[in-house]
Amino acid sequence: MIVHIPHSSRLISAEYTKQFVVSDARLQHEMNVMVDSFTDELFEFDCADENVRTIVFPVCRLLVDPERFADDSLEAMSKKGMGVLYSKTYKGGPLRRRLDEEERRELLEKYYFPHQKSVSDAVREEFRESGSSLVLDGHSFPSRPLPCHDDQTEPTPDFLPWDRFISHARKIDGNNRTENQRVGLHGRNQSPFCRCVCSV
């Protein structure tokens, strides 16, 4: 199994902080809201005897978001200034100045493409070893929708446990409802987020 942690880092190196047009305090606030804090610890497996490989994206999603398409024309969130290189805050205000092509290429080549390659290599390796590959994508999100979310239904669920591609979704749904009620958790299928990172 490959554990992919895309959004836990708060790291923006000094050479790039000057791209941002908000105060340090505002940038910290934006990170508090947007970073999936502690997911690198939450999804930490005691994998001494298991074949688990964890891949953590090393820099903050506000600098480069590895779970966006590199081509803005394919990326729905780019319309909100939250494509692979964010330009707007979660409230839609200005976050970062306009980057030229050279700056964009540098960031993608330094962080985005190497990360995609490491995920793809891990998937290929797992396929080679076992004939299949499972990617667990480790996120967290707030209990209320953010202004940038398409789905504004409250409250946001505690977890998104299943996918339309799971053939026995109805059975899993029913089983989980009982268990969810017992432990007081609230799951919701495909909402407010759907789909998963894929190996490219």
| Cβ distance to Zn ion smaller for residue 41 or 46 | 41
Shortest CB 36 distance to Zn ion, Å: 4
| Cβ distance to Zn ion smaller for residue 43 or 162 | 43
Q: Rounded to whole angstroms, how far apart are CA atoms 15 and 43?
A: 30
| Cβ distance to Zn ion smaller for residue 7 or 115 | 7
Shortest CB 22 distance to Zn ion, Å: 21
Shortest CB 165 distance to Zn ion, Å: 20
Short-list 116, 74, 85, 84, CA closest to 200: 116
Q: Which long-range contacts (CB under 8 A, 24 or more apart) does 22-31 make?
A: 22/89, 22/93, 22/94, 22/95, 26/89, 27/62, 30/62, 30/89, 30/90, 30/95, 31/60, 31/62
3-state helix, strand, coil in the chain (%, to 5): 35, 10, 55
The residues facing 94 across adjacent strands are: 88
113 and 165 Cβ atoms separated by less than 8 Å: no
Q: Rounded to whole angstroms, how far apart are CA atoms 48 and 99?
A: 43
Shortest CB 190 distance to Zn ion, Å: 16
| Cβ distance to Zn ion smaller for residue 16 or 141 | 141
Residues of this chain that interact with Zn ion (CB under 5 A) are 7, 36, 139
Shortest CB 43 distance to Zn ion, Å: 11
| Cβ distance to Zn ion smaller for residue 8 or 87 | 8
Shortest CB 90 distance to Zn ion, Å: 12
| Cβ distance to Zn ion smaller for residue 68 or 139 | 139
32: its two tokens: 């508090």
Q: Rounded to whole angstroms, how far apart are CA atoms 109 and 117?
A: 11
